[in-house]
Structure formats: C-alpha cells, structure tokens
C-alpha cells in the first residue's frame, strides 16, 4: 500500500510540473502596469501604484482588493490574487499559517523534566537496597505570568509529574525543572538537576489524577524577568469543529519545544485509559486531532489558527493498525480544573448534584455557521439520596435547559456541560438550574453549604 501511494504521489507531482512548464513556454507575461500604459496611463509605475490608492480614501471608496484584482484580470493580468498582492502591493502574504502567532504560542510553552528516586530491593540477603535515580520529560503551558516578579503558573498533565514507584509520599517528583523556548538545557539525568543551564526549579501546587491535570508554580525567576516569555491566550474549545486547523506545541521525545500542525478530527468524545497509578481505568473527555502528539508532548498546548489555547495534549492511540489518532483535554474543562485547584489549596473539590444525568437524544445543528451536535439531557435517577445536593430539588425525568453560577448562565446542550460547570462551584455558592418538568420551565436553586455535596480529588 505504501508503494502504491508513493507512485501516485510521484505521478501527481510530475503532472503538476509539466502543467507549469507548459504555461511558462506558451504565454507571454504582461504586468498590470504595462496593461495600464497600453490603455492610456501616463507616468511611472510608482505613480500608477499611487493612483490606485485614491485621494484621502475618496477615490478608492467602495473598492476592495478583489475589485482591483478583477479589473487587472479583465485587462490581461494572469495570476492568482496572491500573486497580484505580492507583486504590486508589496504585502507579506502568508498562505497557510501565521508564523508570528505561532512564535508567540511557542513562547508560552515549556519543556518539563522530572527527577524521581526509587528504592530497588536487594536480590540477596547480604546485599543492600539501592536508591536509583531516573527522570521523565513532558511539556507545560503558562497560564499566568508576572514578568516583573519572575513568577509563572503552569498547567500540565498529572502523569508527567507522577510515578507510582517514586519514593515521595504522593509519588510526585520533587525535582521539577522547566525550560522555556530557547533556554539552555543542561538537565542531568544522573543528578536530576540543572546546575549549569537555565533550568527553572518549579513547585508542585496540586492536581487531580482522575482528570490528568496538575498545576506548577515558579517564583522569583531571573530567566523569566529577562527573557521573551508569554502566557497563553485561552480560547473557547466549545467553539471548535471538525476540520479546523490546529497547532500542537510541546517537547516531543524530550528534544525541546517544537510545533506540528493538523486538524480537529472529533470535537468531543470520551476515551478510556489505564489510570496513571496503574490501578483500574479512567474515562477522559477529549478532542481528537491528527496533529502528531508523541512521548514528551504530554501537558503541551493545542492552539487554533488564531493562536488561542483550546486544549492540553495528553494522549495518543498507539495501536499498530491505527494512525493519526491523538487527543487533547478541552480548555473549557481545563480552565475550570485549574482555577478550582488553585482556589482549594492544591486539591480539586468538585460539586456534585447527587443524581445521574443521561443523554436521551441528539441532533446536528448549525450555530453561528458552525456544525455541532445538540443533546437532550435528563435526570435519570429514579431515587435520589437524602444526603444529595439535589434531594427534593431535581426529579426523575427533568430535562436540563441551563445552569447559572455566579451570574453566568450556560445552556445545557451537551452532557459534559453539567460536569464542567459544577467545577466552578465553591462552598457557600447557590446555583440555579432551569429544567423542563411536565412541559413547564422550573428554576431549581441549590445551595452548596455542606461538605457532603463535594467530592475531593488529588
């Protein structure tokens, strides 16, 4: 199959080359300026270009570049619109991407190196147990930055920092070094440190294994004060759609910050993976992309074409018969996890309703010109425990319409909207859930004033 594909590719390239050569051989190239002279214009090419600009915007009012291009074609100009812009307007045209935006994105991503120590028991009674040092590499994204103070807060994947055999009480690395783009990397896998390079020691703030999210902090870094570093601009992952161009930035194979591109294959789905601890499985909500995500990319960034952070890369399908199936945690969820962890001293506290929600139907819809899927979500619990936050509030069969937290109302059109929004709730908050019950809209208020209404993750 690979040989057939290569043959087709070669034939296609050859055919294109012949087509271009034929065009060059048979047709005389006439510039737009020459055409203007033939039609009576008198003056230099610079004067002709100036004449196109109009006077104080009046002569050219009502015209756009497409109009000028069409007029040039009508008078004999041959070439694409991009050719016209490049030749006559001296524009820096970027046909497929924005390298300045990509460069800014790369400055918001860091390489992460984690040192671990584990105890290896002796095989014989006369031998001593040995402590072994080892390390791993991953990526992280700067979400908050204070350059003047040299401070930064970074989000990454929990599994980048965790190893079940590590000797620390929580099995999280206690030797974490970060390298922004361009930093001199002298990380030593023998000492799990960087004594000669630009490695920045980071502190683990907290995280949640079941969500594969962790938060790091840097404080008082001279490198941050004195170098080009930015924070990522958070985008709306709820607005992505299949086919949208994306860029993955990370530290593949521990080789340093680099960028690859692809498209969104599926905007939202669930995958089941082995738990980071190696015990049991965990279900993650992800976006799927064909952008190459490899070992070391974990915790890195997925940006849209506008340079907005829409996901944190965390996994890929490694089946021998599967290609181009890579995954990223959506920022709609990650930003809520991130703030929850910071607000709760490093521990994730998720508000719970105490009921089961179920999708009973779905349909394709167009929203602002974008294709998406709208789901109908209902309460599927026939019985609700008396200790649940929703006891005597929500009823079996209630259809979710919206949820309001802190004055912000979000329509519930997908099952994950309920869970994502509940990550915003803090103890003492009152939320309002609008449901459809017996063909009537009902506002249900729930106050989270009980520790039993929260589940803790760490």
Q: What is the pLDDT of residues 342-380, one digit of tens each?
A: 999 999 999 999 999 999 999 998 877 778 889 999 999
The answer regarding whether domain 239-343 maps to CATH 3.90.226.10 reads no
Per-residue confidence at 389, pLDDT binned at 50, 70, 90? very high
Mean pLDDT across the chain, nearest whole number? 83
Query: pTM for the full model?
Result: 0.77
- In this prediction, residues 264-281 reach a mean pLDDT of 81
**Contact assessment for residue 77 and residue 35, using Cβ atoms and an 8 Å cutoff:** yes
List the one residue out of 168, 165, 176, 170 whose CA is nearest residue 278: 165
Residue 51 in this model has a pLDDT that exceeds 50: yes
Domain boundaries, the chain: 2-88, 103-226, 239-343, 348-457
Considering only the C-alpha atoms of the chain, give the largest distance between any 2 of them, rounded to a whole number of Å: 102
Q: What is the pLDDT of residues 210-250, one digit of tens each?
A: 999 999 999 999 999 999 999 999 999 988 888 899 999 99
Residue 23 in this model has a pLDDT that exceeds 80: no
- In this prediction, residues 67-77 reach a mean pLDDT of 73
Of 44-48, 58-62, 144-148, 316-320, the one with minimum mean pLDDT is 58-62
Q: What is the pLDDT of residues 280-322, one digit of tens each?
A: 788 888 999 998 888 889 999 999 999 999 999 987 766 556 6
- In this prediction, residues 53-68 reach a mean pLDDT of 56
Predicted local confidence at residue 86, as pLDDT: 58
Residue 96 in this model has a pLDDT that exceeds 80: no
In this prediction, what percent of the chain has a pLDDT beyond 70? Answer: 80
Q: Residue 265's Cα: distance from chain center in Å? A: 14
Of 23-27, 212-216, 399-403, 433-437, the one with minimum mean pLDDT is 23-27
Predicted local confidence at residue 177, as pLDDT: 94
Per-residue confidence at 149, pLDDT binned at 50, 70, 90? very high
* One CATH from 2.30.42.10, 1.25.10.10, 3.30.460.80, 3.40.190.10 for 348-457: 2.30.42.10
Residue 4 in this model has a pLDDT that exceeds 70: no
In CATH terms, are 103-226 and 239-343 the same topology? yes
C-alpha to C-alpha distance for 279 and 281, rounded to whole angstroms: 7
Residue 25 in this model has a pLDDT that exceeds 60: no
Residue 403 in this model has a pLDDT that exceeds 90: yes
Bigger pLDDT: 60 vs 149: 149
Predicted local confidence at residue 334, as pLDDT: 97
C-alpha to C-alpha distance for 400 and 379, rounded to whole angstroms: 8
Bigger pLDDT: 86 vs 115: 115
Bigger pLDDT: 245 vs 79: 245
Q: What is the pLDDT of residues 129-147, one digit of tens each?
A: 788 898 999 999 999 999 9
C-alpha to C-alpha distance for 98 and 87, rounded to whole angstroms: 20
Predicted local confidence at residue 73, as pLDDT: 75
Predicted local confidence at residue 24, as pLDDT: 33
Q: What is 103-226's CATH topology?
A: Thrombin, subunit H (2.40.10)
Predicted local confidence at residue 239, as pLDDT: 82
Full DSSP string of 313-378: EEEE---TT--S-EEEEEHHHHHHHHHHHHHTTT-EEEE--SS-EEEEEEEEEEETTEEEEEEEEE
């Amino acid at each position: 199959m690979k040989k057939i594909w290569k043959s087709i590719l070669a034939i296609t390239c050859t055919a294109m080359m012949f087509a271009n050569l034929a065009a060059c051989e048979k047709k005389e190239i006439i510039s737009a300026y020459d055409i203007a002279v033939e039609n009576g214009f008198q003056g230099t090419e610079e004067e002709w270009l100036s004449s196109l600009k109009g006077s104080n915007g009046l002569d050219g009012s009502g015209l756009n570049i497409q109009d000028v291009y069409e007029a040039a074609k009508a008078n004999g100009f041959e070439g694409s619109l991009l050719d016209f812009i490049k030749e006559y307007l001296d524009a820096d045209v970027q046909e497929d991407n924005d390298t300045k935006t990509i460069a800014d994105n790369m400055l918001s991503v860091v390489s992460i190196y984690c040192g671990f120590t584990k105890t290896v028991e002796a095989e014989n009674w006369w031998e001593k147990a040995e402590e072994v040092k080892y390390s791993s590499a991953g990526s992280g994204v700067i979400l908050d930055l204070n350059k003047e103070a040299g401070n930064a807060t970074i989000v990454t994947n929990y599994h980048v920092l965790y190893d079940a055999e590590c000797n620390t009480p929580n099995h999280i690395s206690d030797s974490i070094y970060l390298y922004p783009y361009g930093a001199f990397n002298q990380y030593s896998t023998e000492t799990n440190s960087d004594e000669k390079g630009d490695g920045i020691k980071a502190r683990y703030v907290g995280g949640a294994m079941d969500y594969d999210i962790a938060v790091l902090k840097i404080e008082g870094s001279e490198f941050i004060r004195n170098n080009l570093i930015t924070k990522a601009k958070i985008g709306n992952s709820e607005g992505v759609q299949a086919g949208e161009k994306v860029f993955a930035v990370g530290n593949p194979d521990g080789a340093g910050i680099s960028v690859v591109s692809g498209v969104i294959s599926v905007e939202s789905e669930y995958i089941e993976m082995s738990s980071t601890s190696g015990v049991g499985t965990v279900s993650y909500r992800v976006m799927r992309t064909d952008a190459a995500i490899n070992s070391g990319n974990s915790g890195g960034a997925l940006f849209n074409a506008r340079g907005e952070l829409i996901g944190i890369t965390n996994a890929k399908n490694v089946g021998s018969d599967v290609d181009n199936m890579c995954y990223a945690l959506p920022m709609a969820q990650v930003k809520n996890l991130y703030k929850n962890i910071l607000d709760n001293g490093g521990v994730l506290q998720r508000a719970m309703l105490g009921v089961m929600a179920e999708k009973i139907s779905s349909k394709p819809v167009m929203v602002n010109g974008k294709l998406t899927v709208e789901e109908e979500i209902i309460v599927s619990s026939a019985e609700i425990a008396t200790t649940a936050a929703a006891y005597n509030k929500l009823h079996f069969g209630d259809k979710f319409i919206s949820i309001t937290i802190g004055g912000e109302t979000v329509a519930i059109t997908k099952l994950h909207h309920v869970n994502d929004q509940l990550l915003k709730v803090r103890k003492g908050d009152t939320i309002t859930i609008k449901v459809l019950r017996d063909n009537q809209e009902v506002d249900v208020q729930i106050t989270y004033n009980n520790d039993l209404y929260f589940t803790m993750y760490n």
